[in-house]
Structure 1
Amino acid sequence: MIDPKKPAAGGLAVALGETMKEANGLWFGWSGNKKEAPIREGVHMQPYGKTTLAGIDLNKHQQENYYSGYFNSVLWPTMHDSPELAEFKPEYFETYMQVNKLFAAKLAPMLKEDDVLWIHDFHLAPLAKELREQGCKQQIGFFNHTPFPSPELFEKIPHQRALTEAMLAFDLIGMQVPKDINNFCKHIETQGFGKMVDGGHIDATDRKVKVQDFPIGIDLLSFRSLKPGPDSEWILGKVEKEAQKSRTLLIGAERLDYTKGVPVRLEAFGSLLSNRPDLHGKVTLVQIAAPSRGDIQAYQALIEKTDRLVKEINNQFGNEDWEPVMYINESVNRNALPKLYSMSRVGIVSSVADGMNLVAKEYIAAQNPENPGVPIISKGAGAAAQLHQALLFPSNNRAALAAAYEQALEMPIEERKSRYVPLMRNVEQEDLPHWRNSYLKTLYSMRDSATPEQ
């Protein structure tokens, strides 16, 4: 759940924050408080735009095993094609189920008979099942913001059968792109949970569940309304100084997460500089990567590797006047992003795996139609399934990414403009309101057509 006092750090928090602020609804979830024992009993309510935030506290043990443990150390790496980074401990899953049971017990009494519930992400995959056991008969939808991996990878997760069975308590399961739907449906059929029938439904033992892709977009009006404030002067000043030296900028901006492919991005940039000495002093990679989840071993290793790569590239190729990689390892206010993206000739999304990756769409939205930059997107990102006119490359392929850098830097203005037009059309047409309305229209239509037998 969002904290109104803090800027949203990730794509999910931004997307849901902008969606819920204008909704007459209830946003329920973990408050974010983590103490030795819960500091407040019950549900803490506060206004957030037109909606109401309803948060419950978790104790330190619950937070560590449920969030840092099962979600971030088991589900997150496996869903993002990195099962080798997963850490399986029995207590993780036990606490994960206990917390979902706790959420259901607190939420159920707050629901009205005609409410429609929209549950987000695998933190809460068992929540519908727990609510059903509380007697809730409301229409319940689920949206998975992460990728859904191949069945072979998903089935490496201990207790994956319990997870899948719990998910079949939802009425509608939404995912980002058709590949995710195909992987999920293949898993359902090969593991004997049900079979696919007409209209994108899973025919399970005692009910039907609809599955459909709903690609998420950005809130274009909100993004374009962002104006740099005093808290952004430091980062804009640093980047503008580079631009004023007639250097072409490449930019990457995200949380520092092993799913984002930051090391391969840096290695490819190093390869570019090795192969093209004529670019020395003429290009700068601006890499914004705020550290996150530093209590997890895989993230500690990533921070160390990223720091080392930045230093190696700057020491090998830089000089007193030019630092090839401008590394910003702290959070940057969102109000600075449109300006940073618009100054950059190349926008880089190098995800190993990503549900969508809204940075790709924000970069496009920030471009000048008369002199647009070039987005480079890994095929591991869901955005690649929509943004075909971007330069696409296979994830984790350093040579292909280095070649894409070179192509983007040398791309003529007319080609950049011709690619930009359909890219921007997608950003405009399949924006955040379109995603929200498409999903909720489907969910509400299922409620309105439901029969007692269902």
Structure 2
Amino acid sequence: MGRLIVVSNRVSPPRDAGGGSQGGLAMALAAALREHSGVWFGWSGRTTEAYTGQVGVQRVGGVTVATLDLEDQDVQEYYNGYANKTLWPLFHHRIDLTAYERAYGEGYARVNARFAETVLPLIEPGDFVWVHDYHLIPLAQELRRRGVTNRIGFFLHIPWPARHMLTTLPRHAQLVEALFDYDLAGFQSEDSLEAFCDYVRHETPDGRVDGGRLSAFGRNLDVGAFPIGMDVAEFTAALEGATAREELERMQASLVGRQMIIGVDRLDYSKGLEERFLAYEQFLIDNPDQQEKVFLLQIATPSREDVEAYQEIRGRLDGVSGRINGAFATVDWVPIRYVNRSYRRDQLAGIYRAAKVGLVTPLRDGMNLVAKEYVAAQDPADPGVLILSRFAGAAEQMGEALIVNPFSREDVSDAIARGLAMPLNERRRRWEVLMEGLKATDVSAWRDRFVSALMAPEARPAP
């Protein structure tokens, strides 16, 4: 059995048992690398005056890590540019924010070629290569051009856009064609998988869809939905630790007899935070008897602060939260506690448990592990209620949540009222079903399904 070579934009191996501030991607990849020896390759996060192609190798958290430095121009055009000003907003259906600049595309192609050149010497015959996310869609194509015949898989952590959205992208056909140099492409949800198949059917001259095998551009591609899970055992173990207990006690003391609604997100326009604040305001208007009895704690971790759209959303959220607090607050109650900082996962575990309602309402999301973490953190004897956007990939798996349309203030307002008033028996029943689903589809199941499909021995016949 060959090694597993994982390639992602950034390398972020685990450094402690509590998970630290690791995100869902980092924790999922770490779990995969615990099972299969190999290498995790990606950008170091550092810039160099002149690109050298030199690879640094070290052992971190039991994982062999190989990294390269990029030039500042690479970072601006490939990462801040094409990845986060072009593909990210487009794939989240925000074409109003999408920047179609030729220089960005050139930088994206250049960095993918550099990734291929530098990872190539690390790939041995029989190894399996697992490429992650929208930053590296052309990587397999670049590796094939350099003679790599190993099986290569690709997993997209964000949503795949609807066909009519993707066709707004210059050279969209070339981007999709690059995916056909992989052996396997995985998506977070059936919705994203169907959107990709829809593009192949209607936008490629020779496109055919036959179950989980697609044919186009003279090649075949196996595809599937592989919804990512969380490490349930590790997360629930963290709940028993001192950090989580201290955070829970701290939050319970701060409630002062009130009920807490929790939102935890990266500061990103795709997360629907402005719409969430306005829906919560609608709840306060619709339910005046709940004023001073409940508050929303919104943790929004800053990200991509060099991108103008992120600076703008932060400014708008500061304004909306301030206006709502100014309109409704009393001398001893603030309706929104809005926090711009990151917390460790074991800290979040305690915060989640103190919340009566988990509010997860992205406008569009590949999966959203916060929804799963909130459920996993609950007290089985007195669990809280998850309110979940229908446009999060997690909604396909978590039907016992209160599924809402995040674009409708009234819909979310009604769900908040229903969640806060939900009887204990119903809360327990919903939580038990959700928790059973989390355990059955945890990160190990995700890892095993994808890696098993990637390592399938049969070769792909020509179309």
TM tier relative to shorter chain: over 0.9
* Code of the aligned partner of 1:57: D
1:330-361 per-residue CA deviation (whole Å, 9 max, x = no partner) reads 11111111111111010011101000000001
Q: What corresponds to 1:58 in structure 2?
A: 70
Q: Give the residue type in structure 1 aligned to 2:371.
A: A
Q: Distance in 1 between matches of 2:34 and 2:75?
A: 26
Q: Cα deviation per residue 1:81-116 (whole Å; 9 max; x = unaligned)?
A: 111111121100001000000111111121111001
Counterparts of 1:41 and 1:326 in 2: how far apart (Å)? 46
Query: Partner of 2:204 in structure 1?
Result: 192
Q: Structure 1 residue 342 and structure 2 residue 353: aligned?
A: yes
Report the AA paired with residue 171 of structure 1.
D
User: Which residue is 2:38 aligned to?
Assistant: 25
- Which one of 295, 298, 302 corresponds to residue 291 of structure 1? 302
Offset of residue 3 of structure 1: 3.7
Tell me the distance in 2 between the aligned counterparts of 1:306 and 1:12.
Answer: 26
Report the CA distance shift for 1:136/1:20 in structure 2 as closer, same or farther (over 3 A): same
- Offset of residue 48 of structure 1: 2.6
The share of aligned pairs that are identical, in percent, is: 38
Q: Distance in 1 between matches of 2:313 and 2:424?
A: 36
Partner of residue 121 from structure 1, selected from 130, 133, 147? 133
Q: d(CA) in 1 for partners of 2:245 and 2:350?
A: 11
Cα displacement (A) at 1:176: 0.9
Matches within 5 A, 1:79-98: 79-98=91-110
1:236 Cα offset (Å) = 5.6
- Aligned residues of 1:2 and 1:17 also touching (Cα < 8 A): no
Give, in angstroms, the shift of residue 450 of structure 1. 1.7
Secondary structure, aligned partner of 1:226? helix
Q: Give me the whole-angstrom Cα distance separating, in 2, the residues matched to 1:11 and 1:21.
A: 16
Aligned-pair CA distance for 1:22:
5.0
1: CA distance between counterparts of 2:275 and 2:60? 39
> Which residue of structure 1 lines up, in the alignment, with residue 57 of structure 2?
45
Give runs of aligned pairs for residues 6-405 of structure 1, distance below 5 A: 7-8=20-21, 10-21=23-34, 23-38=36-51, 41-192=53-204, 194-226=206-238, 239-243=251-255, 245-405=256-416
Show CA shifts across 1:251-279 (max 9, x none): 01111111111111111111111121211
User: Which residue does the alignment assign to 1:440?
Assistant: 451
Cα distance between partner residues in 1 of 2:217 and 2:99: 32
> How far off its partner does 1:233 sit?
9.5
> Compared with structure 1, are the counterparts of its residues 281 and 342 closer, same or farther at alpha carbon in structure 2 (3 Å cutoff)?
same
Q: Which runs of 5+ in 1 are unaligned?
A: none
Q: Does 1:409 align with 2:424?
A: no
Q: In structure 2, what residue type is equivalent to 1:401? A: V
Normalized against structure 2, the TM-score is what? 0.93
Distance (whole Å) between structure 2 residues aligned to residue 254 and residue 229 of structure 1: 23
Say whether the 8 Å CA contact 2:21–2:343 is kept in structure 1.
no
Count of aligned pairs:
450
> Quick one: which amino acid aligns to residue 125 of structure 1?
I
Name the aligned partner's letter for residue 288 of structure 2.
Answer: P
1:166 alignment partner AA? A
- TM-aligned CA deviation for residue 310 of structure 1: 1.2
Question: Residue type of the partner of 1:321?
Answer: D
Report the residue type matching 1:261 in the other structure: G
CA contact (8 A) 1:2 1:8 kept: no
2:46 partner letter = N
CA distance in 1, matches of 2:461, 2:190: 31
Q: CA deviation at 1:160?
A: 1.1
Alpha carbons of 1:3 and 1:143: their partners in 2 closer, same or farther (altered >3 Å)? closer
Q: Give the SS at the match of 1:225.
A: helix
- CA displacement at 1:140 relative to structure 2: 0.5
Using the alignment, how far apart are the partners of 1:56 and 1:435 within structure 2? 28
**Amino acid in the other structure paired with 2:228:** I
Shift of 1:234: 9.3
- 1:301 partner letter: E
Q: Does the 8 Å CA contact 2:14/2:30 hold for their aligned counterparts?
A: no
TM-score by length of 1: 0.94
C-alpha deviation, 1:406, in angstroms: 0.7
For 2:206 and 2:414, the matched residues in 1 are separated by: 44
Q: What residue in structure 1 maps to residue 459 of structure 2?
A: 450
How many angstroms apart in 2 are the aligned matches of 1:255 and 1:21?
Answer: 27
> What are the superposed Cα offsets for residues 397-439 of structure 1, whole Å, 9 maximum, x if unpaired?
2111111111101111111111112111110100000000001
Root mean square deviation of aligned Cα: 2.1
- By relative contact order (CA 8 Å, sep 6+), the higher-ranking structure is 2
Runs of 4+ in 1 over 4 A off after TM superposition: 4-9, 227-238, 451-454
Relative distance call for 1:231 and 1:374 in structure 2 (3 A) is closer
CA distance in 2, matches of 1:144, 1:384: 17
One-letter code aligned to 1:291 = P
